[in-house]
Amino acid sequence: MKFNSTNSLLFTGSDKKIKIYAFRKGLLYKIGEFYHSNQALTYLNCNKDTILISGCDQIIKIRSLIGINNSKVQRKIQVDQNSFSCFAISEKNNLLVAGLQKHIYFWEENGLCVLKLDLQIIDGFDWVYSLSFNESQNKIISCNGDHNITIIQQQNNQIQQWKIVQIINMDNFGTQAIFFGDDSFVIHPWMSRTMFVYKFNQQNDQFTLSNTFLMQGEGQNCYSFISQYIQYRYIKSDQCQNQNKAQKQLFIKQDKNELCLFLVNKNQELQIFQKVRLQETYIWGTMSNDGLWLIVWEQASKLLKVISCFKY
């Protein structure tokens, strides 16, 4: 699921279809639907509110958002034998990035491949499980099944120049490593109840462990809802003059059947703020860009739910 930047449209994947909803004051109105491919969708995103990007195991399709029901594909990226495992986009650089076996591919918006980066996975065959840009979109983090976290940094502000600058070895592998802010990230490994927070150390130019959080669930029970960093979050504050709203940054992370909302302070440290309890652990969804609304889909009910976060 993905909101556009103004939170007026919500894009959802429904098996092999893409559904588009108008969103107003907490209400969803279905306004469009079209077919992706004969494979189930695994990724949806929009770039600068003008391009819709959908992905599955073997095909990426890029559509214009001019005209809600315009299903004409402008560009298509396809593989025959291998499978895409994860995706990310950089609006700043107009880049689409995808994991494909042991490699990360970088494409421009026009579908031109500008870089193929070998992740240097040594111990046999494995996958790239997640990709996440930092806030400035000049760093990417990936995690792999060989228990490694890989930090990749842009070189000389060139979209075709990216270099592996650090590899962190974990005791177990994770399927989500997510940046919040520019220089901090979170990973919650499988078979572990510990969520690790890493922060950039300017003294040695390396990411080092800065904090840990004990979670209720192990990593494999906390991965269906993709963690999300909200840059602009407004909440009521008693300390504000005239009851104005205070601007905060927010990080949301699944923990079994709960969604944990963390405040991000000026030092890029996480502080637990609120928990939203749901019925089961198989949760898919997203949060609006202002942090006021949660949209979730649970496997048991098979219904989209709109949750107001305003009181938080």
Confidence of residue 102 (pLDDT cuts 50, 70, 90): confident
Instruction: Report the percent of the chain where pLDDT is more than 70.
Output: 90
Specify the pLDDT at position 217. 94
Q: Look up residue 81 and give its two tokens.
A: 């034998």
Which domain-ending residue is among 225, 254, 279? 225
50-82 confidence digits (pLDDT tens)? 889 999 999 999 988 877 666 678 899 998 778
**Domain extent at residue 189:** 2-225
pLDDT computed for residue 241 by the predictor: 43
Average pLDDT in the 38-47 region? 91
> Do 132 and 76 share a structural domain?
yes
List the Cα angle 224/226/230 in 5-degree steps.
Answer: 150
**Looking at residue 312, what is its pLDDT?**
40
What are the tens digits of pLDDT across the range 225-246?
999 999 865 555 444 443 445 5
Other CB atoms within 10 Å distance of the CB of residue 205 = 10
Pair 203, 232 in one domain: no
CA 277 to chain centroid, in Å, comes to 21
Residues 303 and 268 in one domain: yes
Domain boundary residue, one of 225, 241, 265: 225
What is the Cα–Cα distance from 78 to 228, expressed in whole angstroms?
A: 28
Residue pLDDT, tens place only, 169-220:
998 888 899 999 999 999 999 999 999 999 999 999 999 999 999 999 999 9
Whether 52 and 124 share a structural domain: yes
What pLDDT, on a 0 to 100 scale, did the predictor assign at position 41? 93
One domain for residues 21 and 166: yes
CA of 285: how far to CAs of 240, 268, 294, in Å?
32, 24, 7
Q: Are residues 310 and 198 in the same domain?
A: no
Distance CA 4, CA 31 (A): 15
In this predicted structure, what is the pLDDT of residue 117? 92
Residues 138 and 183 both lie in one domain: yes
When pLDDT is cut at 50, 70 and 90, the band that residue 122 belongs to is low
Are 277 and 216 within one domain? Answer: no
The pLDDT confidence band at residue 156, using thresholds 50, 70 and 90, is very high
Q: How many domains does the chain divide into?
A: 2
Rounded-to-integer distance, Cα 198 and Cα 6, Å: 31
Which one of 204, 225, 246 terminates a domain?
A: 225
Helices marked H in 234-286: none
